[in-house]
Amino acid sequence: MHERKAVMAGQADAFIALPGGYGTMEEVMEMITWSQLGIHNKPVGLLNVDGYYNSLLELFDNGVRDGFIKPASRHIVISSPNATELLAKMEFTNLKYSRVEIDEVRFEWAECMLDYI
């Protein structure tokens, strides 16, 4: 699974999660984490069909409120109940506010770790 995520991260322009199960949740959380760590600088979106992700979004908000998630990192996740609106939001998002600058050494380390896993 790690190889598949590494390929996905390398080839994708963005990440969108549709409603899904544990595998979907695990993958989207890893893409959020990689964004926070600066491993990629691509938008992460949740297509919130019929409010499916409302509880997860509330959990993120609670994490910010309780000090477990930095407020700037909360904005890594973009959501909308409408696919067209979600794509528009993701296209015009500025990801620089939520992560450290990626330098060549750090990126090489990330690639090595992904290859190792």
| Residue 86 CA: distances (Å) to CA of 10, 22, 26, 39, 95 | 21, 22, 21, 23, 15
Question: Tens digits of per-residue pLDDT, 34-71?
Answer: 999 988 889 999 999 999 999 999 999 999 999 999 99
Q: How confident is residue 8, by pLDDT bands cut at 50, 70 and 90?
A: confident
In tens, the pLDDT along 96-117 reads 544 444 444 455 556 655 665 5
CB 112 within 8 A of CB 51: no
Q: Name the pTM for this structure.
A: 0.77
DSSP state of 102: P
Instruction: Quote the CA–CA distance of 39 and 31 in Å, as a whole number.
Output: 9
Mean pLDDT of 78-86: 98
Q: What is the mean pLDDT of residues 65-94?
A: 94
Candidates 3.40.50.10440, 3.40.50.450, 3.40.50.1370, 3.40.50.880; correct CATH number of 2-116?
Answer: 3.40.50.450
Task: Identify the pLDDT of residue 5.
Answer: 77
